[in-house]
């Protein structure tokens, strides 16, 4: 089981620059890859370049980047720029994000998210094999930076997105899933191709969490209850009452109160070190190839204790 680290993931009350600290801890402890998610706070490529400048060896993945917000060329160029500037293998994760982010924050249409995902993935693969500019260039321009060498990851839950991941991705990404959901989604992926990409999942994690860290995990879950796509996953995990409350317009505090106390343990890695390692083994048995740890940091600055407990061979 590969274990990577997510340094920038959820929007919460923690310092935005904590992402740089989490990445530095992950690099020091020997993790092989760090994910730099994109949202209202961070531009993923800028953050990846900053992490590359402050670390010594860890590979970088920018995203998931919302494909309805960036055109394919800006994503291609962003990854190539980070790799050229840092000398570090740089991957890209593509996702469809949510209407709340795409339309509410960026003011862009999210009318065709699956088509946007397909077109962006196809363009990224074409660039990587050298077809972007062609032999004679494009509109007088020639490619001057080589394509980034890191993996192309596609975040997928629904059948159409899974089909796109099966065709184009090196890795398919899940988020906030239980082992049972991993098994079902792995089966769906393998039904699409006889050469499936690797399967990874972002999972909230806290080893020996204090009250502050556990509350941080629960608030993160509550924030995703109104989001389509995640709602289906939460319902499958047994949180139907909280999903229905979200659909009636309940606020964050009401949703938090509606979640069962064990919610973060159902779709995450929570407990003492032995419990968390056993939980990782459950995900591996369900067919997950990679756990991407999203460490709680409210009571564990930069996730140091959690990452230290999970560093090294599993």
- For residue 19, the enclosing domain spans 2-211+268-310
Provide the CATH number for the domain around residue 75: 3.20.20.30
Q: Mapping DSSP to helix (H, G, I), strand (E, B) and coil, where does residue 101 land?
A: helix
User: Is residue 257 domain-resident?
Assistant: no
CA distance 270 to 280: 10
CA distance 79 to 146: 10
User: Is residue 253 domain-resident?
Assistant: no
User: Is residue 236 domain-resident?
Assistant: no
pLDDT value at residue 127: 86
CB 187 within 8 A of CB 179: no
Beta bridge partners of 198: 171
pLDDT value at residue 197: 98
Query: pTM here?
Result: 0.94
pLDDT value at residue 30: 97
With tokens 């989604």, the residue in question is 185
DSSP 308: H
Query: Please, what is the Cα angle at 67 between 230 and 175, to 5 degrees?
Result: 30
CA distance 157 to 228: 10
Q: Give the burial string for 72-85 (b: 16+ CB within 10 Å, else e).
A: beebbbbbbbbbee
| Number of folded domains that form the chain | 1
Block mean pLDDT (10 aa), the chain, length 314: 95 92 98 96 97 98 96 92 97 92 91 95 89 61 86 96 98 95 97 98 97 95 88 89 94 93 93 97 98 97 98 74
pLDDT value at residue 131: 74
């Amino acid at each position: 089981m590969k274990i990577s680290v997510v340094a920038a993931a959820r929007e919460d009350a923690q310092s935005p620059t904590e992402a740089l600290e989490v990445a530095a801890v992950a690099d020091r402890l020997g993790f092989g890859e760090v994910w730099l998610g994109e949202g209202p706070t961070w531009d993923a490529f800028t953050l990846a370049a900053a992490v590359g400048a402050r670390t010594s060896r860890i590979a970088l993945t920018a995203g998931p980047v919302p494909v309805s917000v960036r055109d394919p060329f800006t994503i291609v160029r962003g990854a190539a720029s980070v790799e050229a500037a840092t000398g570090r293998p740089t991957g890209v994760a593509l996702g469809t994000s949510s209407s709340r982010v795409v339309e509410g924050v960026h003011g862009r249409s999210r009318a065709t998210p699956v088509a946007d995902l397909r077109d962006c993935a196809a363009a990224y693969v074409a660039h990587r094999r050298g077809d972007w500019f062609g032999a004679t260039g494009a509109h007088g321009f020639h490619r001057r930076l080589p394509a980034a060498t890191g993996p192309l990851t596609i975040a997928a839950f629904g059948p159409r997105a899974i089909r796109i991941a099966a065709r184009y991705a090196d890795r398919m990404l899940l988020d906030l899933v239980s082992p049972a959901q991993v098994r079902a989604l792995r089966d769906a992926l393998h039904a699409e191709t006889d050469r499936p990409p690797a399967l990874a999942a972002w999972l909230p994690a806290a080893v020996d969490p204090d009250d502050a860290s556990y509350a941080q995990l629960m608030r993160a879950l509550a924030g995703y209850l109104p989001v389509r796509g995640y709602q289906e996953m939460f319902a499958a995990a047994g949180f139907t009452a909280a999903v229905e409350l979200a659909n009636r317009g309940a606020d964050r505090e009401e949703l938090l109160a509606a979640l069962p106390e064990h919610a973060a343990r159902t779709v995450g890695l929570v407990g003492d070190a032995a419990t968390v390692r056993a939980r990782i083994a459950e995900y591996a048995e369900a067919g997950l190839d990679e756990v991407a740890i999203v460490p709680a940091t409210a009571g564990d600055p930069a996730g140091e204790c959690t990452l230290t407990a999970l560093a090294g061979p599993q």
